[in-house]
Amino acid sequence: MKKNILLFSIPIIVVILLLGLSFNKISEIDSKRNDIINIEKELNFVSSELEIEKLFSNDLNLANDELKIWIDRGNLQSKFWSEFINKDLNIAYNHSPRSSSSINTEINKLLSYLSRTFDGRNVKLGNSQPSELFFSTQDLTKEKKYGFGFSAYDGFWPSFNKSEANIILIQANIVKEICEFLLDSFDLGESFTLLSIKREAAGSEDKKHIGDSHYVNTNQTTYLRDGKLVASHVFEISFTGKTRNCRTFINQLRAPYSLRSLRVMREEKTDTENQSDSVNNEEAGESGILPIVRDISSKFTLEIEYVYKSESSLHNRVSKILPVGSDTEKVEEILKQFN
Q: Containing domain of residue 51, as a range?
A: 1-85
CB 202 within 8 A of CB 167: yes
Chain segment 166-199, per-residue pLDDT in tens:
999 999 999 999 999 999 999 998 989 999 999 9
The answer to the question of residue 179 being in a domain is: yes
Question: If we measure between CA atoms, which residue out of 138, 121, 137, 139 comes closest to residue 239?
Answer: 121
User: What is the pLDDT at residue 279?
Assistant: 43
pLDDT one-digit tens code per residue, 213-225: 999 998 889 999 9
Give the pLDDT score at 141.
41
For position 320, what pLDDT does the model report?
59
Residues 39 and 105 in one domain: no
Q: Are residues 144 and 234 in the same domain?
A: yes
User: Does 277 map to a domain?
Assistant: yes
Q: Would 185 be classed as within a structural domain?
A: yes
Both 177 and 275 in one domain: the answer is yes
My answer on whether 78 and 115 are in the same domain is no
Report CA-CA distances (Å) from 81 to 22, 248, 272, 294, 296: 85, 25, 51, 41, 38
> Taking the CB of residue 89, how many other CB atoms lie within 10 A of it?
12
Q: How far apart are CA 318 and CA 332, in angstroms?
A: 10
Indicate whether 51 and 169 sit together in one domain.
Answer: no
CA distance 240 to 194: 7
Q: Has residue 1 been placed in a domain?
A: yes
Between CA 36 and CA 45, with CA 42 as vertex, the angle to 5 degrees is: 145
The count of domains in the chain is 2
Q: Which of 28, 61, 85 is the last residue of a domain?
A: 85
pTM above 0.75, yes or no: no
